[in-house]
Amino acid sequence: MSAARITSNGASPPRQSASPGLPIREERCSRRMSRETHMLDSDLVSENRAQAGPRVLVTDTNRWPSPARLAIGLSKLGCRVSGVCPTRGHPLLSTRVVRQTFPYSSLRPLESLAAAIEATSPDIIVPCDDRGVQHLHELFARAHTDGKSGAKLAALIERSLGAPANYPVVSSRYDLLRIAREEGVRVPDTAPVKRAEDLDSWQAGHPFPWVLKADGTFGGRGVKVAQNREQAERFFAEMSRPHRFARVFKRLIVNRDPFWLRPWWKRSRPAIVVQSHIQGHPANSAVFCWEGRVLAGVCVEVVSSDGSTGPAIIVRVVDNPAMMFAAERIARRLGLSGFFGLDFMVDEADGEAYLIEMNPRCTPLSHLQLGPGHDMIEALSAQLSGRPLRESPPVTHNDVIAYFPQAWTTKSPFLESGFLDIPQEEPELVKDLLRPWPERSLLYRLVSKVSATTTAVAGRKAARHGVSKI
């Protein structure tokens, strides 16, 4: 292990390497060091225990908090966690529990993932965002066509995600809901929309409002609620056109994310669906499953969210058999392994939960240990270790949970009475989550200020002319 370095708990937050495929922690003394490893300290987990634990590779192409929270929980259970993530400002780099981190390359994503897999030889890969799932699907297809030379990699991805024949289903909103309906799960009416004229047949049997959704989007992006036909056609035109260069350029310069250059160049268009609107409140579930069998899961109803279609901020844990039924039937039908989440709308008229979409990855609920049957990371660790499940006390008996740092931007009264999900054992992580990338970037702040000023000026002009914003 001549390329490895053991760091103390008091070390400064690590910087990252720009070299694709190489570990990126603690590159302070020399850029010539090709593979630097961030080892766990003895006061976090003993080396003997870590050496015996399963090897987990966590991937994230965004900068979400969930990978770091998952890594902390898994390391406490004795797992050896490594990660693949962007090279600036990712929360994984602020934890003390990740053994190795590797740079994610937006321009060469499959190569960067393959390099990390080869270096760490993981027992399982855990994708933490939708783009990462798609990369693994593509990497499986490439490995599968390589024959014997790609057999080991293909087997690892299949072990991590489940049956490859159903990878296209989990990436398609329409196909997923079609399968769910066949399995007896309640779903709203949904239809693909390839051209504006397709809305004619839909309108004949479905009153407004309608919900239009684009494949390949997440976090509430790519979801529009149309109140009339004119809005529906305008939303469809906006959602189905290729990516605009201005937005791609902003993502490249401000977010340091060149990924969208390729779909912009190819003029890729997402698949669009239209869905009946369920009047009610959102809910979701998260599960860990293995070869089609759900081993643990949690159901919640959303108390507060980031906008009407955005991600949850504060949730309430509930016992909802219909939501767990949906997870179990989908996992079995698709032969899934790993984490996934389901989003629902609970009808205000009859209280029934309608499945509206799937997240084929871990979600903000996945790291929470809420007791027997509801401890997903314990289920993962036990499955990979070949040992019986260990019963651990839940992290809280409070049924209201406020996600950190998302809930800290709200003024919800539940912040006073709910469980505050703060990773207090990782002070550097807490600090960085409160000021996430790219908000700490001077360029981001400048662009945001200019954008806010432009919007304010446009609003004042509209007000003077008697025009109201929708």
Reported as a single tens digit per residue, the pLDDT across 402-442 is 999 989 877 788 888 899 999 999 999 999 999 887 666 66
Question: What does the pLDDT average to over 289-300?
Answer: 98
Indicate the pTM of the whole model: 0.83
Side chain identity at residue 87, one-letter code: T
Question: What does the pLDDT average to over 10-17?
Answer: 39
Is a pLDDT exceeding 60 seen at residue 10? no
From residue 405, how far is each of 96, 326, 359 by CA, in Å? 19, 29, 21
> Is 465 or 282 the better-scoring residue by pLDDT?
282
Which CATH superfamily does the domain covering 189-276 fall into?
ATP-grasp fold, A domain (3.30.1490.20)
> Where in the chain are the domains?
47-161, 189-276, 280-433
- Please, what's the largest Cα pairwise distance for the chain? 72
Q: How confident is the model at residue 467 (pLDDT cuts 50, 70, 90)?
A: very low
The DSSP output letter for 57 is: E
Q: How confident is the model at residue 1 (pLDDT cuts 50, 70, 90)?
A: very low
Tell me which architecture the domain covering 280-433 has in CATH.
Answer: 2-Layer Sandwich (3.30)
Are 359 and 343 spatial neighbours (Cβ–Cβ below 8 Å)?
A: yes
Please choose, from the candidates 59, 61, 48, the residue with its C-alpha nearest in 3D space to the C-alpha of residue 81: 59
Using one digit for the tens of pLDDT, what is the confidence trace for 41-97?
A: 334 433 444 456 999 999 999 999 999 999 999 999 999 999 999 988 899 999 999
CATH number, span 47-161: 3.40.50.20
Question: What does the pLDDT average to over 285-300?
Answer: 98
Are 98 and 92 spatial neighbours (Cβ–Cβ below 8 Å)?
A: yes
Does this chain's domain 189-276 share its CATH topology with 280-433? no
The pair phi, psi for residue 369, each rounded to 5°, is -95, 105
